[in-house]
C-alpha cells in the first residue's frame, strides 16, 4: 500500500457504483489518490495526465499487455503474480497483437499497417466523403430522425472497415450493429472478452481465406502483408487464426471510436451554439481544429492495463515485477492540471499533448484513418444539416467500466 492510497480509502475502480458516475470518481482520484493501489487487483491506477504520459512512454518491454489490456475484474482478483511476471506472450503460435512484446509487436504491426499510413489514408478521403453524403441523403430523405452513433457515424466507418477487409459494402450496417452488440456489457458492467474475440474473428477469417486463395499479391495490404510474412529463422507462415488475432483491434477500434467521437462532438457543438457558429464560419479551416477537441473530450476508451516485467518507478511509485498498472486514459484527458476547464468542450482549445489515441509502443494504429473519418463526417454533416437538434432524454451512454462513450444520440435534421 502506498502513501497516496491509504488503507482507509478502498473503492473498486471497476465496480458498478463507480461506473454509475465515472467523472466524479476520476476527479476524486486525481485530487486525493493519483496513484491508487487496489489490493484486490494488485494494480496501481494512474489518473493524472502527467503520470499516464510517463507510464505510456516507458519502453524497453518494462510493461506489456500479456494479461490483455482489458482484463476483467474476475481475472484481476484471481490472478496475482506474487512478484513473478508471467512470461511474455508466445510466438508459437503467434499471440494476439496487443499482448505481444517487442520486437514481435512491431513485426506484426508493420506487416499490415500500410493501408493505415497517412498517404494511404489520404487516398480514402473521396470514398469516405461519398459514403457520408449518400448516407446523409438517405437518412434525411427517410424523415431526418436517426441515431448519430449507429445510423450515421457507425454506418460510415463500417464501410471503411469493409473496404479495408475486402468485405461487401452491403455488410456495413450489419457489421456495425453486431460489433456494438458484442461490446455491450453484461448486467455486471463487464464484457466476455474471450467470446468477444471469437465473434469478431468470425468476420475476419473468411477474408483471410479469400486473400490466401487469391495469392495475397498485395491487392489487400491489410491482410496480404500478414499472409506473406514469415517467421525469422524457420520461415513459418502464420495461420488464419493467428492472422485474425492481429486484426481484431483494427476492426473493433475502426468501428467503435470514430463513430462515437463524431456523434458526441457534433452534439457538443449543438449544445454550444456560439461555438457551432464559429466552426461553421469556415468549415475547411475550423473542423480539423474542432476534431482535436472532439477526440480529447469524446473518445470513449477508459483505460489500458499493463503488467510490469521488471521493477520500475512511475510517478514516484515503486512497482514490482508482476504487478499491474492501469493508465486511466479518459481521466487523463480530463485532468485539471493539463487542461483548463477540462470538462468543458472548447472547439479551439490549445492542447499540444493528448493521450486519447494512446502513446508509445501501443499508440493507435488507426489514428490517421479515424481523424480523417471524423473530419469528413463533421464537415459533411454541418454542410448538409443547417437545422438540427438532439433528443438528450433518449440519449444513452455505454454503462461499462471500459468505455464511457455515447451509444445512442437521437438527432432530428429539419433542413
**pLDDT tens-digit series, residues 365-413:** 999 999 999 999 999 999 999 999 999 999 998 766 677 888 899 999 9
| Percent above pLDDT 90 for the chain | 75
In whole angstroms, give the CA distance from residue 145 to residue 267: 14
| Cell, residue 58 | 516507458
Query: Is residue 146 a contact partner of residue 388, using CB atoms and an 8 Å limit?
Result: no
For the cut 90, the answer to whether the pLDDT of residue 2 exceeds it is: no
Residue 198: CB partners within 8 Å, gap ≥ 6? none
pLDDT given at position 178: 80
Read off φ and ψ for residue 45, nearest 5 degrees: -105, 120
> For residues 234 and 9, which has the higher predicted lDDT (pLDDT)?
234
pLDDT given at position 187: 59
For the cut 90, the answer to whether the pLDDT of residue 280 exceeds it is: yes
**pLDDT tens-digit series, residues 291-334:** 999 999 999 888 999 999 999 999 999 999 999 999 999 999 99
| Cell, residue 355 | 493521450
Highest mean pLDDT among 149-153, 183-187, 351-355: 149-153
Query: What confidence tier does 17 reach under pLDDT thresholds 50, 70, 90?
Result: confident
Question: What mean pLDDT do residues 225-253 have?
Answer: 95
pLDDT given at position 3: 46
**pLDDT tens-digit series, residues 53-64:** 999 999 999 999
Query: Is residue 412 a contact partner of residue 151, using CB atoms and an 8 Å limit?
Result: no
For the cut 80, the answer to whether the pLDDT of residue 192 exceeds it is: no
pLDDT given at position 183: 63
Cis peptide bond prior to 357, omega within 30° of 0: no
In whole angstroms, give the CA distance from residue 258 to residue 279: 19
Residue 8: CB partners within 8 Å, gap ≥ 6? none
| Percent above pLDDT 70 for the chain | 94
For the cut 60, the answer to whether the pLDDT of residue 5 exceeds it is: no
pLDDT given at position 99: 94
For the cut 60, the answer to whether the pLDDT of residue 189 exceeds it is: no
For the cut 50, the answer to whether the pLDDT of residue 1 exceeds it is: no
> For residues 102 and 190, which has the higher predicted lDDT (pLDDT)?
102
pTM exceeds 0.85, yes or no: yes
Domains (range + CATH), the chain: 16-413 (1.10.630.10)
**pLDDT tens-digit series, residues 360-377:** 888 899 999 999 999 999
In whole angstroms, give the CA distance from residue 357 to residue 341: 21
Find where cell 475502426 sits: 254
In whole angstroms, give the CA distance from residue 304 to residue 344: 24
DSSP string, 307-368: EESS-EEETTEEE-TT-EEEE-HHHHTT-TTTSSSTTS--TT---S---TT--GGG--TTHH
In whole angstroms, give the CA distance from residue 54 to residue 407: 31
Amino acid at each position: 500500500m502506498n502513501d497516496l492510497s491509504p488503507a482507509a480509502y478502498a473503492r473498486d475502480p471497476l465496480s458498478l457504483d463507480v461506473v454509475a458516475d465515472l467523472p466524479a470518481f476520476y476527479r476524486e482520484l486525481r485530487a486525493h489518490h493519483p496513484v491508487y493501489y487496489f489490493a484486490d487487483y494488485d494494480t496501481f491506477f494512474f489518473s493524472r495526465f502527467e503520470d499516464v504520459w510517463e507510464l505510456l512512454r516507458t519502453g524497453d518491454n518494462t510493461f506489456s499487455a500479456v494479461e490483455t489490456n482489458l482484463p476483467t475484474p474476475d481475472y484481476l482478483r484471481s490472478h496475482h503474480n506474487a512478484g513473478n511476471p508471467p512470461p511474455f506472450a508466445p510466438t508459437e503460435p503467434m499471440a494476439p497483437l496487443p499482448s505481444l512484446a517487442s520486437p514481435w509487436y512491431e513485426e506484426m504491426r508493420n506487416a499490415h499497417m500500410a493501408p493505415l499510413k497517412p498517404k494511404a489514408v489520404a487516398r480514402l478521403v473521396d470514398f469516405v466523403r461519398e459514403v457520408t453524403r449518400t448516407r446523409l441523403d438517405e437518412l434525411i430523405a427517410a424523415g431526418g430522425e436517426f441515431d448519430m452513433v449507429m445510423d450515421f457515424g457507425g454506418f460510415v466507418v463500417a464501410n471503411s472497415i469493409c473496404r479495408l477487409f475486402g468485405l461487401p459494402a452491403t455488410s456495413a450496417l450489419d457489421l456495425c450493429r453486431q460489433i456494438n452488440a458484442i461490446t455491450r456489457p453484461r448486467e455486471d458492467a463487464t464484457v466476455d472478452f474471450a467470446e468477444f474475440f471469437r465473434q469478431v474473428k468470425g468476420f475476419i477469417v473468411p477474408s483471410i481465406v479469400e486473400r490466401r486463395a487469391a495469392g495475397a499479391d498485395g491487392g489487400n495490404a491489410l491482410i496480404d502483408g500478414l499472409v506473406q510474412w514469415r517467421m525469422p529463422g524457420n520461415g513459418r507462415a502464420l495461420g488464419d487464426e493467428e492472422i485474425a488475432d492481429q486484426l481484431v483491434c483494427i476492426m473493433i477500434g475502426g468501428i467503435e471510436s470514430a463513430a462515437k467521437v463524431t456523434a458526441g462532438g457534433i452534439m457538443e457543438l449543438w449544445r454550444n451554439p456560439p461555438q457551432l457558429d464559429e466552426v461553421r464560419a469556415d468549415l475547411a479551416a475550423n473542423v480539423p481544429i474542432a476534431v482535436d477537441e472532439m477526440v480529447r473530450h469524446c473518445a470513449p476508451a477508459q483505460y489500458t492495463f499493463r503488467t510490469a516485467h521488471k521493477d520500475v518507478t512511475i510517478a514516484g511509485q515503486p512497482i514490482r515485477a508482476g504487478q499491474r498498472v492501469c493508465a486511466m486514459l479518459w481521466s487523463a484527458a480530463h485532468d485539471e492540471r493539463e487542461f483548463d476547464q477540462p470538462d468543458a468542450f472548447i472547439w479551439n482549445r490549445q492542447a499540444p499533448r493528448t493521450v486519447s489515441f494512446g502513446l508509445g509502443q501501443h499508440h493507435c494504429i488507426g489514428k490517421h484513418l479515424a481523424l480523417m473519418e471524423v473530419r469528413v463526417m463533421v464537415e459533411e454533416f454541418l454542410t448538409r444539416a443547417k437545422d438540427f437538434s438532439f433528443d438528450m432524454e433518449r440519449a444513452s451512454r455505454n454503462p461499462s467500466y471500459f468505455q464511457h462513450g455515447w451509444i445512442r444520440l437521437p438527432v432530428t435534421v429539419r433542413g
